[in-house]
Amino acid sequence: MCGIWALFGSDECLSVQCLSAMKIAHRGPDAFRFENVNGFTNCCFGFHRLAVVDQLYGMQPIRVKKFPYLWLCYNGEIYNFKQLQKQFGFDYQTLVDGEVILHLYNRGGIEQTASMLDGVFAFILLDTANRKVFLARDTYGVRPLFKVLTDDGFLGVCSEAKGLINLKHSTSLCSKVEPFLPGHYEVLDLKPSGKVASVELVKFHSCKDEPLHVACDAVEALPSGFDLETVKSNIRILFENAVRKRLMAHRRIGCLLSGGLDSSLVAAVLLKLMKEININYPLQTFAIGMENSPDLLAARKVAAHIGSEHHEVILNTEEGIQAIEEVIFSLETYDITTIRASIGMYLVSKYIRKKTDSVVIFSGEGSDELTQGYIYFHKAPSPEEAAEESERLLKELYLFDVLRADRTTAAHGLELRVPFLDHRFTSYYLSLPAELRIPKNGIEKYLLRLSFEDSNLLPKEILWRPKEAFSDGIASVKKSWFSILQDYIDQQVDDLLLEKAAEKYPFNPPKTKESYYYRQIFEKHYSGRSSWLPHYWMPRWVKATDPSARTLKHYKSAAQE
């Protein structure tokens, strides 16, 4: 996890522009480099490093003697770099996994490069010999990337939008800073002036398609067919493989553990594999919640079962409320459910950074979207419509849960790893018949639970624990975090303000006081950039005005049972 930043064709002095690069310093607390491009005085790279692999030669932009005309700035982890080296006979000059991008590009161009990378990535690749700039981002946008391209060819690229919004240029940049689309690469011509012109934007991978890099995966061909035993076995094999490949790190590994199904499965498989490869330190797991909240109690049970070194962070009301503005600034969104769920994750990440030496943090993001874990899936009119909704949610992850997971951890210099979003695991799960993937017997994620039922990885009551909304799972039995937030915000936003919300904010107008409160804070930091969020996250097939599962009829919190 790092912070990348680059400019091409800047009219302003680069020493002034580079102040913008410091806006993402939190992403790489270990080192910083600012480097001009030879022959192009108005082009430069900025890089903030979190050293997870190759402590000696891991600085960027990466340049190697074999390809003196290539410059690479990337944020991510490429899990199959050793397999690709073996398959194509690449001669690496560093231990940095991202070096493989240079070799793949030299061998087969940008299309093959993007398609053959098994991992999470956002990168800027400059080829001065052919006068090309390439941008690319992984399938689900696990690693963030923003860009601004003006009509006169000035290009700015950054891990977070906050590194671009204050750039100086002769024309306005305001409306043009936008997220780079996941699963795409862009080709741009580099002119002698340092300015660029976009040539094409190409989608190189869809979540349903089996990725090209399967050809050099550690797990070979799986048994075909959709009989239940075969499917369950394949799910276990691929999920374990997804966790195993993510063990690549020279820094300590930890795991977020809410006590829900997803994070518990990740933690259990992770600890099992760490033992198998003789990692000689205990796995630290981390939970956050108010005193005696459902998540804390469930996480405690899981940690005891798997034998992790467990840490609990007690959330107090005042701390949670005080964090709201910092969280919105970090997230760069005003989406209601994203902000609610981010507060706990932001505070637990803060604790991990201050109190422990864990840096590489595993988490359960992506499972709800992939395995139909949201409670509203019970209301799907048909298995086919549920399958379509699952794909829609996966395509939009970069706007919601993946954004939350990246920003809340990156704000504290941690690197997130999300095995549920493994390319091969997701493409296999999405290839299963729609009927197999829907909730059954009133239980969401039925197939995933069933696949691990006989594994003894988790206690039965955790494996079959119903879905908790994150903001509710961290609540105390006496009063939910949801209710506490509502009470506080009710005093901050006047009824009259809400009545006129649509006049003040015509795009995505706030419908509740909570939504209005978040929007005010967002506009304070990112005025006029409401289009970064195309729409609010809301459940489908139900008449909902609030995204919380708590408002749906099917939902019963532990406190109500």
- CA 96 from chain centre, in angstroms, equals 21
Query: What HEC string does 132-145 produce?
Result: EEEEEECCCCCCCC
- Check if the beta carbon of residue 79 is closer than 8 Å to that of residue 118: yes
Q: Which two tokens stand for residue 366?
A: 């992506």
- Other CB atoms within 10 A of residue 499 CB: 9
Q: Which two tokens stand for residue 226?
A: 């959709």
- Check if the beta carbon of residue 320 is closer than 8 Å to that of residue 343: yes
Q: Tell me the residue ranges of DSSP E strands in 62-106.
A: 70-78
Query: What HEC string does 216-262 produce?
Result: HCCCCCCCCCCCHHHHHHHHHHHHHHHHHHCCCCCCEEEEECCCCHH
Q: Which two tokens stand for residue 139?
A: 């399938």
CA 497 vs CA 523, 524, 527, 550: distances in Å: 15, 16, 18, 26
Q: Is 343 annotated as ligand-binding? A: no
Instruction: Determine which helix (DSSP H) or strand (DSSP E) holds 474, and give its type and residue range.
Output: none
Among residues 2, 73, 207, 255, the one annotated as catalytic is: 2
> End-to-end CA distance of the chain, in Å?
41
Strand partners, 415: 360
- Check if the beta carbon of residue 290 is closer than 8 Å to that of residue 475: yes
255 included as an active-site residue: no
CA 90 vs CA 85, 480, 516: distances in Å: 5, 55, 54
Ramachandran area for residue 177 (φ above 0: left; ψ -120 to 50: alpha; else beta) = beta
- Other CB atoms within 10 A of residue 281 CB: 11
- Other CB atoms within 10 A of residue 518 CB: 25
Q: Is 209 annotated as ligand-binding? A: no
Q: Rounded to whole angstroms, how far apart are CA atoms 190 and 185?
A: 16
Length in residues, the chain: 561
Q: Is 531 annotated as ligand-binding? A: no
Strand, helix or coil for residue 111:
helix
Q: Is 462 annotated as ligand-binding? A: no
Q: Tell me the residue ranges of DSSP E strands in 365-508.
A: 415-417
My answer on whether omega of the bond before 182 falls inside 30° of 0, hence cis, is no
Q: Is 364 annotated as ligand-binding? A: yes
Positions marked active-site: 2
The annotation places the binding site for L-glutamine at 97
The annotation places the binding site at 97, 256, 288, 363-364
